[in-house]
Structure 1
Amino acid sequence: MDKDLEDVSKFYNIMVEFFANYSLQIVGALIILIIGIIVSKYVQKFVLKILLNNNIDETLSGFVSNFVRFLVVAMMAILALGKLGISIAPFIAALGALSLTAGLALQGSVSNFAAGIILVITKPFKIGDTITINDVYGEVEDIKLSYTVLVNEDGEQITIPNKYMIGDVLVNSFSFRVVEGSVGVAYNSDIDKAISCIKNVLESEKDVSDDNESIVGIEKFNDSSIDIAYRYWVPTKSFFKTQYEVNLKVLNALNNSKITIPFPQREIKIIGDNNVSK
């Protein structure tokens, strides 16, 4: 019992001595840290306001302002540690080693993050545009700092890491996509009439864009047919639906106009005496 009281008494004396010697430093460190947290909020709002007033992208503005706030809090925390008499050199060395390790482990994520910042600054596309990259297409639904989200006509959500958006061929067709089709007609057909039929179909289709002119003309001369090609623009969300409807209407229009769509033919001529003795 006496030993326990003695241990408690020693602990009490140590605590009293500690607070007597370091109470002011502890209070000072806490005050510095609290001031840093409060000031960082105002600095964050101030930086965010300046960036937005200068028409900087909202996502990038939020990232920069949050990073500035983190720096303010980190600097005040270093000052607080110095107030306590704690050397910050080991912490800085450990932080450097940790940053190097994290950088090597997360180099893919860092690449996506850096590419996201470039996308936000350069703005090669915006939400609502239709882009095609690496044979994947879709309407841009959201742009994050590490990835971009697309949605295709089937309602599928496609997530593309931003590093693939930089340094690769990217096609931006905005809110439309171009549809290409062709049909072969017989050589003895009225070609002008066939072209007129296809043009009428495209003009009557409600989903075909009026802002981008449709193109209809002879594509090439095949052995058994003349190929008439047509190109037109449709909203991304109705690409396949409109393509299938137009193809059916083109077929019906040509049939109603008595324009023949031939099948492949070969003409064989037999020259000379082909009698074979047995």
Structure 2
Amino acid sequence: MKEFLLNNQTELISSSIVLFVLVLLRFILGITIRRIGRFSDLKDIRTRLVLKYISIGLMALGAAGLIFIWGVNIREIGLIFSSIFAVIGVALFAQWSILSNVTAGIILFFSFPFKIGDRITIMDKEMEEQGPFLIEDIRAYHIHLRKGNGELMTYPNNMLLQKAVSIARETADLKTVPDET
């Protein structure tokens, strides 16, 4: 054991630094994302979901860093990863919409153009009813919209970013604009 510690001292120190930086980044990003969530009145579930995505990304970066530090043979790792990514790629090609919806959910979290409780109108020709809808929940893959007749509708997050959406405000909230006539 003593020989292992002496022979791999630089790798152990570098690995410790990488792990410390990752934990520090996770802590700082966690605080920042929670503040954004509180500042924009977002549900705690959405904040935790984005934190989960960030944690997974940081773990992937950490694994890549440790592989680089320990000098693992890239050709062997490349063969393993290319095989894994080929299988995953085929599976994800069939499920590409899941990834686009998750990505759109993250974008909606950080841009927060609308939030739960807002009434929105979606300009989509293919929808039988365009709104206004009440936003009840924003999930990782879709948004829950309540129709005027009380019916609950789910709408994919990626479609929400692709279509024009207007937020319906109460007339009392609108500032009066003088007529230019």
Q: Report the TM range for the smaller structure's normalisation.
A: 0.5 to 0.7
**Runs of 5+ consecutive residues of structure 2 not aligned to the other structure:** 175-181
Instruction: Report 1:1-278 matches (<5 A).
Output: 40-53=22-35, 59=47, 61-63=50-52, 65-75=54-64, 78=67, 87-133=76-122, 134=127, 135-137=129-131, 138-174=133-169, 211=172
Worse-matched range after superposition: 142-151 or 110-119: 110-119
Please tell me the residue identity of whatever aligns with 2:27: K
Contact 1:150 1:159 in 2 (8 A): yes
2:111 and 2:74 mapped to 1: Cα distance? 47
For 2:80 and 2:59, how far apart are their aligned partners in 1? 17
TM-score, reference length from structure 1: 0.42
TM-score (norm 2): 0.59
Give distance in 1, aligned partners of 2:87 and 2:143. Answer: 29
Tell me which amino acid in the other structure corresponds to 1:109.
I
Equivalent residue pairs, number:
153
Hey, what's the Cα distance between the residues in 1 that align with 2:173 and 2:66?
Answer: 59
C-alpha RMSD of matched pairs (Å) = 4.2
Greater share of strand = 1
Highest relative contact order (Cα 8 Å, sep 6+), 1 or 2? 2
- Tell me the distance in 1 between the aligned counterparts of 2:91 and 2:70: 25
Structure 1 residue 163 displacement after superposition = 2.1
Larger Rg: 1
Paired residue type of 1:148: I
Alignment check: 8 A CA contact 1:127 1:140 kept: yes
User: Using a 3 Å threshold, how does the CA distance of structure 1 residues 154 and 77 change in structure 2: closer, same or farther?
Assistant: farther
Q: Which runs of 5+ in 1 are unaligned?
A: 1-23, 177-208, 214-278
Letter in 1 for 2:82: A
Contact 1:126 1:140 survives alignment (8 Å)? yes
Contact 2:100 2:158 in 1 (8 A): yes
Q: Distance in 2 between the 1:169 and 1:47 partners?
A: 31
What per-residue deviation string (whole Å, max 9, x for no partner) do you get for residues 78-110 of structure 1? 369856999312122223323432331111222
Whether the aligned pair in 1 keeps the contact of 2:119 and 2:168 (CA below 8 Å) is yes
Do 2:30 and 2:51's aligned partners in 1 also have CA atoms closer than 8 Å? yes
